[in-house]
Amino acid sequence: MGARVVYLDNAATSWPKPPCVAEAMAAFLRDSGGNPGRSGHRLSVAAGRVVAEAREAAARALGLSDPLRLAFTANATAALNVGIAGLAGPGDRIVVDAMAHNACARPLSEAARRGAEIDWAPVDGAGRLDLDLLEDLVAGRRGPGGGPGRGARVGRKAARLVVLTHGSNVSGALQDLAAVATIAELAGAVLLVDAAQTAGLEDIGLDSLPGAVVAFTGHKAMLGPGGTGGLAFGTGVDPEACAPLLRGGTGSASESEEHPAFMPDRFEAGTLNGPGLAGLLSGLSWIEASGRAELRAAELRLTERLAAGLRELPGVQVLGPRPGERRCPVLSIRAGLIDPASLALALDERHGVLCRVGLHCAPRAHRSLGTFPGGAVRLSPGPFLSDDDIDYALGAVEACLKEGTSP
């Protein structure tokens, strides 16, 4: 492999991070390494200030005006587990889209074992929801198989919880968040949003989605480190209606052996990841200074350039939205009968193009797209790539197809 590396795996984790992220993490460990909220001395106060500023920055990124409605977790998976277990129980109906990541699917399987009823909303060949069908399914007017017809009464109760993959980590399909929120609201359901691929990049506008709860991670589009994420509650959802998974020390109400009910302590048992949150704050600050809208437009332009070039290559199938349709900066490809794993290995070893291959922890999504069990090669641009990087990656794919992918 040559010296050049083109990193196209930002859907797994963003890289490189802005240099200020590592600098902020080191500064936290060096200058403010106390336990936030656990003591009154200067290092604890300094650490607590970093956590508070990170909370405010994450809330701004989600369009949430009250940062105290946001609790930090280890990642989006932890947040989704809290939301699924805490917002619905035995006997409740949960409707979820068929592009769900295993971070949703596996907790939902456990919820089903405990007596919840799970209905999967189908998607089209690009991974997009049929909103009319979703509305009937959420309201109980239609069964998970699609019948009876729209408007018919089937005697099923409305959903208690709707779980939405905002941006697909496989096809890049971007769902209409506002429309789905309205569907959930009309049925009296809470909307739990998996924003792992979109938080930090898309304008989520949580203040305008009072019935929504957003699970996010810090190490992808927010440009922070691993071990950071959280759960943010819209103004119409009472956090006390969501049971915490963990209970323990919070630094508050220490006189009581009952876990605090108030936010954000309700979901923040144990010591927070101070260095990670310092890095998250720095990543979010870099995004704000650079302009979120400008970064989003640049990443989508690169994604469209990549998709257009791939469509011109013989035998290459680009999964996901067509040109000009709603998407996030993720796409996957199949190349005829070429094994996806062989193609990805050749791209890495021969050309330094780094991507993700397989089922992407989303087997149901691949079933929906017709790529199960073989999977696909996923390419996901980030904010530090150029047109030249995309053109180089296209040339690498073309060369691998011509050369064959055997070592």
What is the tens place of the pLDDT at every residue in 215-250?
999 999 999 999 999 999 999 999 999 999 999 988
Is 1 part of any domain?
no
For 95, phi and psi rounded to 5 degrees? -110, 130
294: tokens are 């400008």
Q: What CATH number has the domain bearing residue 151?
A: 3.40.640.10
Q: pLDDT tens across 36-68, in order?
A: 988 889 998 999 999 999 999 999 999 999 999
Is 355 part of any domain?
yes
pLDDT of residue 403: 85
Total-model pTM: 0.95
Domain count, the chain: 2
Same-domain pairing of 331 and 275: no
Is the pLDDT at 153 greater than 70? The verdict is: no
Q: pLDDT tens across 294-314, in order?
A: 999 999 999 999 999 999 999
Nearest CA to 121 out of 95, 93, 157 is that of 95
Segment among 107-111, 178-182, 261-265, 363-367 with least mean pLDDT? 261-265
Is the pLDDT at 150 greater than 50? The verdict is: no
Q: Assess contact for 282 and 21: CB atoms under 8 A.
A: yes
pLDDT of residue 407: 42
Which residue pairs from 261-264 have beta carbons closer than 8 angstroms and sit at least 24 positions apart in sequence?
Answer: 263/68, 263/69, 263/71, 263/233, 263/239, 264/55, 264/68, 264/69, 264/70, 264/71, 264/72
Number of residues that make up the chain: 407
Last residue of a domain, one of 289, 304, 335: 289
- In single-letter form, the type of residue at position 236 comes to G
Last residue of a domain, one of 289, 317, 333: 289
Same-domain pairing of 397 and 257: no
pLDDT of residue 2: 52
* Domain residue limits at 359: 6-17+291-403
